[in-house]
Structures are given as C-alpha cells and as structure tokens.
Amino acid sequence: MAAGTQTESKKSKSSSSRSSSAKSASSKSKSTAKKTSTTPKSDPATRLLMQDHRAVEKLFKQYEKAKEDPAQKQAIFQQIYMELAVHTQIEEEIFYPASRPHVKEEEMVNEAEVEHASAKDLMAQLQKMKPEDPYYDAKVTVLKEMIEHHVEEEEKEYFPEVRKTDMDLKAVGEQLKVRKEELMAKMGGGTAH
Ligand SMILES: [Fe+2]
Ligand SMILES: [Fe+2]
C-alpha cells in the first residue's frame, strides 16, 4: 500500500516537472499534434473491433440468463463461438500485422496473439462438449474472463497507442469490414467445414 502511494507521488512529481519544461512539452505536442485528433469515432478500424467486443459481451450476459436451459446455452455458445472465431481471425490476419510495425512494444502484440490461442483452445474444448457437462458452465465462465481481460488490454492500451501512430486506420478498417463479411457468410452459410 505504501509502495503504491509512493509510486503515485513519484508519478505526479515527474509529470509536473516535465510539464514545467516548456521545451520538452512543446516538442512532444508537436510530434503527436496531428495524431491526437484520432478518436475511436473517427477510426473505423478499432471502431469495428470494439463493436465486436460489445456484441460478445452481450452474448455472455445472455448466456448467464440461460443457465437452466441446456439447449439455449448451447445455441448462445454457438453464437459466441462464431463471433469470436471471426473476430480473432480478422485481428490476426489484418489488424495485428498492420499495427505491429507501428507500436512501441511488439511484446504487446505477441501477448495478444497468445491470449487468442488460449481462448481458441477453450472454445474448441467447449465445441466438443454437451451443455449438460458439469464443466460446461465453468469453461464458459473462464472463457468470458479471459476475453474480458484481453478486451480491456486492447481497448485501454493497444488501440489508443495505435491511434497515435500514422497507421492507415481507414484502409485497415475497410479490410477488416470486407474480411469479416466474408467470414461471417462462410460460417453462417454452412458449418460443414
Ligand atoms: Fe479484439
Ligand atoms: Fe484480440
């Protein structure tokens, strides 16, 4: 607790000393002035990804309400599965590779990919299970928690950082949209594959 307080005071101290240096403040704002105008609203790439995040959150809430009904649980999980399968694929195929060269720490992208792999592993296990299985709910709950953690990191760290770079968010947004429609049609059109 004391350590936390110390870090806080240290932080505010360093930020105030930084802002007192007019020279560094102006050079800093100069390099980011153009980029700070990018908001989630004016950025079609992360806007699309965040819409997906909200859709999945909604589905997990519906799952909670359906707990007494195995058929409904399975139907909702199928929707969660499809949403997440398409979302992780478009991020891995398009958004992560496009943003990787622009972010400061590539480790952040690596972590995101590893988290996707863990989520997909759990999704595959659930796909093979019956909703009556005593571990079905527990696995869905753990999947939900994993996704919540992942989404928080994307929305609080990854996406805001990307918006400050000169990555072409419009072009990437368009690619994400086209690929998403393609994959949704493929998955919705028949799951034989
Ligand atoms: Fe995401
Ligand atoms: Fe992701």
Domain layout of the chain by residue ranges = 39-188
What is the distance between the alpha carbons of residues 172 and 159, in angstroms, rounded to a whole number? 13
What is the distance between the alpha carbons of residues 58 and 54, in angstroms, rounded to a whole number? 6
How many angstroms does the Cα of residue 21 sit away from the middle of ligand 1? 38
How many angstroms does the Cα of residue 5 sit away from the middle of ligand 1? 33
How many angstroms does the Cα of residue 157 sit away from the middle of ligand 2? 12
Which two tokens mark 141?
A: 């709950």
4 — pLDDT class (breaks 50, 70, 90): very low
How many angstroms does the Cα of residue 14 sit away from the middle of ligand 2? 33
Q: Which residues contact 125 (CB under 8 A, 6 or more apart)?
A: 139
pLDDT for position 34: 46
- Point out the ligand nearest to the CA of residue 146: 2
pLDDT for position 42: 79
Average pLDDT over residues 151-177: 97
Instruction: Decide if pLDDT at 36 tops 50.
Output: yes
**Weakest mean pLDDT among 7-21, 72-86, 129-143, 171-185:** 7-21
What is the distance between the alpha carbons of residues 89 and 85, in angstroms, rounded to a whole number? 6
**Weakest mean pLDDT among 13-17, 130-134, 157-161:** 13-17
What is the distance between the alpha carbons of residues 156 and 146, in angstroms, rounded to a whole number? 16
Average pLDDT over residues 39-64: 94
Which two tokens mark 46?
A: 């992360």
Instruction: Decide if pLDDT at 132 tops 80.
Output: yes
- Point out the ligand nearest to the CA of residue 109: 2
- Point out the ligand nearest to the CA of residue 49: 1
What is the distance between the alpha carbons of residues 141 and 50, in angstroms, rounded to a whole number? 21
Which two tokens mark 109?
A: 């992208």
How many angstroms does the Cα of residue 192 sit away from the middle of ligand 1? 26
Q: Which helix (H) or strand (E) holds 180?
A: helix 169-188
What is the distance between the alpha carbons of residues 177 and 174, in angstroms, rounded to a whole number? 5
How many angstroms does the Cα of residue 16 sit away from the middle of ligand 2? 35
189 — pLDDT class (breaks 50, 70, 90): low
This prediction has a pTM of 0.78
pLDDT for position 13: 40
68 — pLDDT class (breaks 50, 70, 90): confident
Average pLDDT over residues 109-117: 98
What is the distance between the alpha carbons of residues 163 and 46, in angstroms, rounded to a whole number? 9
Helix axes 136-153, 44-65, angle to 10 degrees: 160
- The DSSP output letter for 39 is -
pLDDT for position 181: 97
How many angstroms does the Cα of residue 91 sit away from the middle of ligand 2? 6
